[in-house]
Homo-oligomer: A and B are copies of this chain.
Amino acid sequence: MTKGKLFGLSLGPGDPQLITRRAWDCLQRSDAVWTYPIRTKQHDSYALDIALRAGLSLPAQHQPLIFPMTHDVEKLARYWANAAQAVLNHLHQGRDVMFLVEGDASTYSTFTHLSRTVRALDEEIAIETVPGVTSFHAAAAHVQIPLADVDDTVAVIPAGYGIDMIDKLLREFDTLVLLKVKPLLDDILHLLQQRELLDSSYFVEKAGSPEERVVHDLAALRGQSVNYLSLIIVRSHHRERGEMVRGCKNKSTIASEP
């Protein structure tokens, strides 16, 4: 029997309209199994919700996979192995498996773990990753700012690395995308005010979802509690531009530069 194929199906940040045609075609297949990540048995799946809001129905075969929110490496490894084994059971019976993920499957996604573990258990499994639109691309589009203008540099980090690192990156990059800003929000707002960057910063909660909230007057957020899925995009005017080697220069020119 031919083994099934595993698909990492990016569904975009939440608006079903931001699903790609490729992912949409994959979702129409009634012969494939849908799997999707949940945090606990009690939680809904954000990824599945995108597909359901698109008007699709669960196919006959479907299975939630638990990826707990923990940094306990042993616990994680146990759950990843369980999830991979559940997927393999389907694949070994010749069924293709769609793993539904919000955003992009290569970007802060549980698909990285799942595909790695499936491959470790059976290296013959064919895997296709269908790329998608990320939350920060949707956020930049919504607030109509460039994520990157010509020659710009962009850094994307979880805000948890702290204020000193954020401050440093504001001097080094044109655009700084801060993910999961919730636990550090007031400190970040204080820093942005100090650096006179509040006006060129945008806060987006649950980007691309029906509950999306965009705040440009960031000072108004002080002391507020925000959703876990919150990001801030800062367009920094502090970055000093280094010397740029242009694409049109030939190699001899580059070699002779100091």
Chain A interface (Cβ within 8 Å of chain B)? 8, 10, 12, 15-22, 24-25, 69, 71, 104-109, 112, 115, 127, 129-134, 137-138, 140-142, 144-162, 165, 173, 180, 182-184, 186-187, 228, 242-251, 254
- Number of copies of chain A assembled together: 2
For A165, A183, A246, the residue with the greatest tally of chain B CB atoms inside 10 Å of its CB is A183
Contacts of A127 in B (CB 8 A): 144
Give A17 to B71 CA distance when docked, in angstroms: 36
Nearest chain B CB to A43 CB, angstrom units: 15
- Residue of B15, B156, B182 near A148 (CB, 8 A) is B156
If the complex has contacts A17-B25, A19-B20, are A112 and B247 also in contact, measured as CB distance less than 8 A? Answer: no
Contacts of A17 in B (CB 8 A): 20-22, 25
Give A169 to B234 CA distance when docked, in angstroms: 19
Contacts of A247 in B (CB 8 A): 160, 180, 182-183, 228
Nearest chain B CB to A252 CB, angstrom units: 11
